[in-house]
Structures are given as C-alpha cells and as structure tokens.
C-alpha cells in the first residue's frame, strides 16, 4: 500500500470553483480505479485556502494508472486557475 498526502493552496475566493472542479473529477475517478483504496478531498479547519487530498493505492502501478487516467489529466487545467502555488505531494509507504 502507498499513501499520498497532497496539499493544495488555493486563491482567496476560489473555494466554490475549486471544490466543484474537484468533485467532478472524483466522481469520474472512483468508478474507474479499483486499485484506488481511498481518495478524499478534505479542507483545513484553520485555513480556508488549504485543502488536502488523502489517497491510498495498492501499489505503484495503481498510482501510475491514476496519473495517466483521463480524469486526472483533465483535473490540472480545471484546478490550475484556482491554485495559489504548486501542490505539495508527499508519498508514504504502507507499513
């Protein structure tokens, strides 16, 4: 199992646009990726411009399949205009 914690910082006032784009991508992704153990967009309780994506995959192949999926590729152009910087992505190995 491989976990990912992606931290996304958005611009002020872009929360609704960001969340709508993300939800659309999540709805498309869940049905197509059986090796995706979990994939949840969550938001900070202290900073309204900070979101995290908590992701779990069976293995590196599952991450590669996710990264090459059509809905993942569509996510970048949709989310880009909402972001305040590059996402921070941390990969962690299951124990």
Q: DSSP letter at 87? A: P
d(CA 6, CA 38) in angstroms, rounded, equals 13
Q: How far is the CB of 62 from a copy of itself (least distance, A)?
A: 14
Q: Give the side-chain half-sphere CA count within 13 A for 87.
A: 17
Q: How far is the CB of 81 from a copy of itself (least distance, A)?
A: 18
Tell me: does residue 87 bind a copy of itself (CB under 8 A).
no
Per CB under 8 A, the list member of 27, 32, 34, 42 interacting with a copy of itself is 42
What DSSP element (H or E) covers 54? strand 50-57
* Site residues (vs a copy of itself, CB under 8 A): 1-3, 5, 19, 22-23, 37-38, 40-45, 51-52, 54, 56, 90-95
């Amino acid at each position: 199992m491989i976990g990912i914690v992606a931290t996304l910082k958005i611009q002020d006032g872009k929360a609704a646009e960001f969340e709508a784009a993300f939800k659309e991508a999540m709805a498309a992704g869940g049905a197509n990726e059986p090796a995706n153990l979990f994939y949840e967009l969550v938001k900070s309780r202290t900073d309204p411009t900070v979101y995290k994506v908590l992701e779990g995959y069976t293995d590196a192949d599952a991450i590669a399949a996710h990264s090459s999926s059509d809905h993942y590729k569509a996510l970048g152009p949709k989310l880009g205009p909402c972001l305040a910087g590059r996402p921070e992505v941390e990969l962690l190995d299951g124990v």
